[in-house]
Structure 1
């Protein structure tokens, strides 16, 4: 397994800070305990830009800080956040970042790059998160109907998630043109193998 790089760790910390900053931008809905936030956008960006390993690490950093009591989730922190109504969404984020990163680091840049990123980010950054998120929300509030749980925890958020995936895809496609994901991973495009000779000047 390739060793962790200083550059990757720095970027992981940077994206953790981005996620913390975006968590403060939220809209509270009167009919749901789940607010609309930009944290899912940060998860999508972390996975797409950093790849599976470092994208997951950035999310775990935020979760770890939250568990330690730091106010990193919309100005709140503590174990109560990680076991509260929205805990099911939070615990799905590392898996979402990993899968987004896994696919992103295997993509080749073509005229369909934005579309491929859009599909990956919406499927794994949004749809993947809802089974655990909605299930835990229903359990937490004792919602005994599937339709009620979906209204409270999923349907209102899908349009916003799609917009976030569109924004993420456009941003990442632009970033990749000047700073390819291989520079973070220090690997050859489409592989896990180190390739220092074909990508000179990297450290």
Structure 2
């Protein structure tokens, strides 16, 4: 009898892939896209902020050179507080603070940036308490201004009034450090320091606050939104 032959199918070889090609494909699909757009946008915002910080620092230096001495106080009337108001109002809390703080720190190194004078002797003199408070005045004004203009597209009388009051309060913060330091340096009572270091100036400060509020309300919506959120 003939032997029965088995009809076996030929062996099927499974398809193989190159491991190097597979790994390269997986790595290629797993790599996240590079955030070029956001990085460029953040860099551009930082550059704009730095440029405007330098510009308002220069404005603060220029306005500091405009002084009007008065005989009853060693503290002259200057326009530097107007520059502080504008720095906070236009740049916001972060950049507004640093636009003034940079000038104060450079002055401490000896650079004659404030009405032609500089050095620690100026910052530790009778007006030193005011100078050290100036960056914090800009910080407060910028913080409140950001809140008032957040989401606002048009000017309003109420916003102008609130802004003027906020700017004036921010300016008055300088007296918190300035008046006690003045009393210490001239060896006078706090009441005497208030009479010679604060009373003659609060009226001029109110006028400057109104001027600053008018400029901020008119020009801030036009400027490029370069500010960071208040911190």
Aligned to 2:54: 13
Q: What do you get for the CA RMSD once the two structures are aligned?
A: 1.7
The match for 2:179 among 134, 144, 151 is: 134
Per-residue deviation, 1:115: 1.1
Runs (4+) of structure 1 exceeding 6 A deviation are none
Alignment of 1:142-157 (within 5 A): 142-144=187-189, 146-157=190-201
**Which sections of structure 1, spanning at least 5 residues, go unmatched?**
193-203
Aligned to 2:18: none
Per-residue deviation, 1:177: 3.0
Aligned to 2:141: 100
Q: 1:172 & 1:134 partners in 2: Cα distance?
A: 28
Size of the aligned set, in residue pairs, is 183
Q: Which structure has the bigger radius of gyration?
A: 2
Per-residue deviation, 1:29: 0.9
TM-score by length of 2: 0.75
Per-residue deviation, 1:178: 1.4
Aligned to 2:167: 121
TM-score by length of 1: 0.85
Alignment of 1:1-203 (within 5 A): 5-108=46-149, 109=152, 110-111=155-156, 112-125=158-171, 127-144=172-189, 146-179=190-223, 183-185=225-227
**Which sections of structure 2, spanning at least 5 residues, go unmatched?**
1-41
